[in-house]
Structure 1
Amino acid sequence: MPVLGEPAPDFEAATTNGPLKLSDLKGKWVVLFSHPADFTPVCTTEFIAFSGVAEELKALNVQLIGLSIDSVHSHLAWIRSVKEKMGVEIPFPIIADLDMKVAKKYGMLHPGISDTATIRTVFFIDDKGIMRAMIYYPSSNGRYIPEIIRLVKALQTSDKYGVATPANWQPGDKVVVPAPKNKAEMDKRLSEGYECKDWYLCFKKI
């Protein structure tokens, strides 16, 4: 099972774009997401939505990768159907995981839902290969794709500026200054020009 703050489990797998090894992607952020099955209605809407933000994610140095417990041939037939019937090209690789090796490494199988289909998970892996965030959804409900974009931007902002982001943060909003570690830091911050609600809660623009 993956753990936040630790290296994401490495894997090598066949995809619709050819062989892929996670560790070869170091230097890029990775958004790895699973779906229950090809040729299913909710999954189709999600793949169309993910395709719509693929270029935005690419501009953020993110490699988007899909996965389900289906074969490469099934994936290829499905994405061809999506292109022919819905006019959408799926530009990112989809992992074929018939032996469930990747699904089991990443805890994508929840027996209370299904023993043979992955739930809807999203894993956020940074450019050093560290697991930074995970979101789980049931098979019945599609993901809200703008939140995935927002979280990538929030994580990258935290890394770049050494800050945190408050609830409902959007790019351009004020960020949270890390809480002081001692009395000297607490006293100093009150004169550093931050917008402070109290000694432990201060905001700033970046």
Structure 2
Amino acid sequence: MSLRLGDAAPNFKAVTTEGEIDFYEYLGNSWGILFSHPADYTPVCTTELGKTAKLKQEFEKRNVKVLAVSVDPLDKHLGWRNDINETQQCTVDFPIIADDKREVADLYGMIHPNSSENFTVRSLFVIGPDKKVKLMITYPASTGRNFFEVLRVIDSLQLTANYSVATPADWKAGEDVIVVPAVSTEDAIKKFPKGVKVVKPYLRYTPQPNVD
């Protein structure tokens, strides 16, 4: 059965470039990103892991831990990591899971037979501190991911987990947000002292509540 939003993220133990891990123990109380790439020593994957390494501080600011996974063995990961560091001018120090038995790939449905029977597609899962799946994105092998979009979505997920708001199309951190329909306008005015702009009874904006 395929994973869906709100499902518990399957736990697993795995060998990685940073040693053996238990997924839940590694995450602790943090948010997590688990993303697969088709294969080591390939061009698009090299740029993706390099970009992830360069965004380390952005992920840390958001209390997010990152793990990558493919069906390549550990020795191949270790050699390729040197190439990533060299060509992308970065330091990859997050775990890359050696899933040569396809255990993690099968748990998370990362192999799509109609795309490839042997390699993982570019799947990405955001896992909350409650170990529930908050986001799933899948890209084809030919298209590298936009990790700034991943950061944007994490900003939205973390904001909306704590406040009765939603984020509109193309929203970026610091911009106005939408009051959720479950909150009446009367209650919204009390709940959001920065003000509420009513466009329609169902469409009401307020400044982002956790920004001074």
Q: TM-score, normalised by structure 2?
A: 0.90
- Match of 2:60? 58
- Match of 1:17? 18
Give 3-state SS (helix, strand or coil) of 2:159's partner: helix
Distance 2:46 2:151 in 1: 19
Q: How far apart are 1:180 and its partner, in Å?
A: 3.5
Aligned-pair RMSD on alpha carbons? 1.5
Distance 1:14 1:144 in 2: 27
Give 3-state SS (helix, strand or coil) of 1:81's partner: helix
1:178-206 superposed Cα distances (whole Å, 9 cap, x missing partner)? 1037xxx36x3586541111111111112
User: Against the structure 1 CA distance between its residues 16 and 156, is the aligned structure 2 distance closer, same or farther, given a 3 Å change threshold?
Assistant: same
Distance 2:21 2:59 in 1: 19
Give 3-state SS (helix, strand or coil) of 2:55's partner: helix
Contact 1:122 1:134 (C-alpha < 8 Å) held by counterparts: yes
Query: How many correspondences in the alignment?
Result: 202
Distance 2:82 2:189 in 1: 60
Give 3-state SS (helix, strand or coil) of 1:89's partner: coil
Percent identity at matched positions? 38
Contact 1:13 1:95 (C-alpha < 8 Å) held by counterparts: yes
Q: How far apart are 1:87 and its partner, in Å?
A: 3.1
Which segments of 5 or more consecutive residues in structure 1 lack a partner in the other structure?
A: none
Distance 2:7 2:110 in 1: 18
Which segments of 5 or more consecutive residues in structure 2 lack a partner in the other structure?
A: none
Distance 1:45 1:35 in 2: 11
- Match of 2:170? 168
User: Against the structure 1 CA distance between its residues 78 and 202, is the aligned structure 2 distance closer, same or farther, given a 3 Å change threshold?
Assistant: same
Distance 2:29 2:188 in 1: 38
Distance 2:201 2:99 in 1: 50
Runs of 4+ aligned structure 1 residues displaced above 4 Å come to 189-193
Contact 1:180 1:200 (C-alpha < 8 Å) held by counterparts: no
Distance 2:153 2:10 in 1: 21
User: Against the structure 1 CA distance between its residues 173 and 85, is the aligned structure 2 distance closer, same or farther, given a 3 Å change threshold?
Assistant: closer
